[in-house]
A and B are shown apart, each in its own frame.
Chain A
């Protein structure tokens, strides 16, 4: 396939950013941050009105990474959409894969075997660790501490190696299928995961030594970006940001899915809801994830890693397709006509590292969803910024953004 490239000059962006300035009458200054700026962790643009060093107004501008995922979902079969879920929260693709699979399975009423559930819990928690490690490291960096990032990134690298062994890809894993996962865990992999979680607390301790009682870090984060319980609920925050504000809501506990009810873990809750609390909650969540992973590995179920019903709806086993006529025909029909999903509507959300990632699926039967809405936690978490930023100093905005730990791939969809 030949492609053509066209060079587009974008003119003077700086001049366009100054436009907002000209509307103010001289006392205040307009500052345009982003869309491509290290603070914004992606392509978020902030238009701020500054009064000296204080922020008077902050308007987030989104959409720079909008790809129309919901439109795309309406035009392809259920399993075809799995790779697109990788690209929502691209710092925890495995957790997105699982959330999406569970949503469709809720619609089809497929029963998932214990081994498959255990694999999913395991990868979800590994994704949480990976996402929080990056979140904490980058947060430290935003507050001026470079070194913790080196520690967390080293650990994250080890996780990616494990992901690669499991799924074949380090980043865009596309691991789940509706009714199961794409492959069973490789031999000896659990031991390597065990080794990783045994060693991880050491690295977390290093990070904690560098940050948790660090005077400079405390000065920059304590009391900054305080979100009250009421505000957090009103603005629809979820995940660590909501829990840091003191609301006890963790879907793994309150609406257990994929067998989370079998595992013993604590939900950390903040008291002040400031940037420092959000950091503490994430640290503790990593330690709790380690706890869950250890329990999963200890009692790892044997048996099928693919639901029996899924064979009829989504795909027969590969070796059968190649050797048996019936499965061959079945596979052909599934591929050509798409899996047959009952009509109905369903909403499912999972506790992802960034918050509650929800899928609202309306099906009219057949192989393609009629409407699919993706409820992105980062989108909701960012909406509080308009209220949160005013009154803070300009230098605080980097810390606030870092502590909210959002990802634009999911926010803009």
Chain B
């Protein structure tokens, strides 16, 4: 069981941690430079053997710390979770140490996080895109990336030569819908987010 006493002992052992209130599980903030040693200690001495998930949050352009990573670990000994937040240094070229040397499971998770957010995991053995194709120029889960997508060249040159095709943004007509959630009711009705173009109206370039 992860109880008050256990949390206290863990926080005492690792002075660089700061406890964060959370409604569901034990959550700590860990500075990026201590992340690897902390996770190694968690695996080797605290029984957190299973890296469940590794992902990132984009706090939006203009935030003090724009990107932070979130790691969820599960312990078979304690039958409980721990959540580790760590802020990425440098907002323009976010970087964080890779933990794939400790948990091989992190390898693909980190590749996905790099793919979606453009966070560099230093010391990662094979940091390349995993869901999007290798030549893809954007990071889709960043907040400024539009839901519809951005016009992008096709990765296959031989196909482009014949068809002149490219990867086009998805037509936004018919959903998915969003509600701005504030203002006059008539303005806050759910609507397609990007309405800059329809069948009748040309897309603004």
Residues of A within 8 A of B (CB): 1-2, 6, 8-12, 16, 62-63, 66, 68, 70-72, 75-77, 80, 106-107, 109, 233-236, 238, 247-249, 254-255, 335-338, 344-349, 356, 358, 360, 362, 366-368, 370-371, 373, 375, 379-380, 382-383, 387, 412-413
Contact = CB atoms under 8 A, between A and B. Distances in A.
Contacts of B38: none
Contact of A75 (B58, B108, B176, B182): B176
Contacts of A366: 181
B54 to A, nearest CB: 9
A365 B155 CA distance: 39
Contacts of A413: 131
Q: How many of chain B's residues touch chain A, expressed as a range?
A: 35 or more
B176 A373 contact: no
A368 B176 CA distance: 12
A412 to B, nearest CB: 6
Contacts of B116: 70
19 contacts: A1-B174, A12-B158, A63-B129, A63-B130, A233-B49, A233-B50, A249-B74, A255-B79, A336-B189, A346-B24, A347-B24, A347-B25, A347-B53, A347-B83, A360-B53, A360-B72, A368-B179, A373-B70, A383-B104
B9 interface: no
Contacts, number: 144
B24 A236 contact: no
Contacts of B114: none
A75 B131 contact: no
Given A233-B49, A383-B105, A254 B131 contact: no
Contacts of A11: 156, 158-159, 162
B147 A347 contact: no
B193 interface: yes
B178 interface: yes
Contacts of B132: 63, 66
Q: 5 closest pairs, A vs B, by CB?
A: A236-B105, A63-B131, A11-B158, A373-B55, A383-B108
Contact of B179 (A70, A107, A338, A349): A338
Contacts of B147: 71-72, 75
B21 to A, nearest CB: 9
Contacts of B165: 6, 8
Interface of B: 22-25, 27, 49-53, 55, 57-58, 70, 72, 74, 76, 79, 81, 83, 103-105, 107-109, 112, 116, 129-133, 140-141, 145, 147, 156, 158-159, 162-163, 165, 173-174, 176-179, 181-182, 185, 188-190, 193, 199
A107 B53 CA distance: 18
Nearest to A411: B131
B95 to A, nearest CB: 20
A382 B131 CA distance: 13
Contacts of A367: 179, 181
A249 B179 contact: no
A9 B24 contact: no
B104 to A, nearest CB: 5
A76 to B, nearest CB: 5
A379 B105 CA distance: 10
A286 to B, nearest CB: 25
A304 B152 CA distance: 51
Contacts of A8: 159, 163, 165
Chain B CB within 10 Å — which of A68, A77, A107 has the most?
A68
Contacts of A380: 105, 108-109
A106 B24 contact: yes
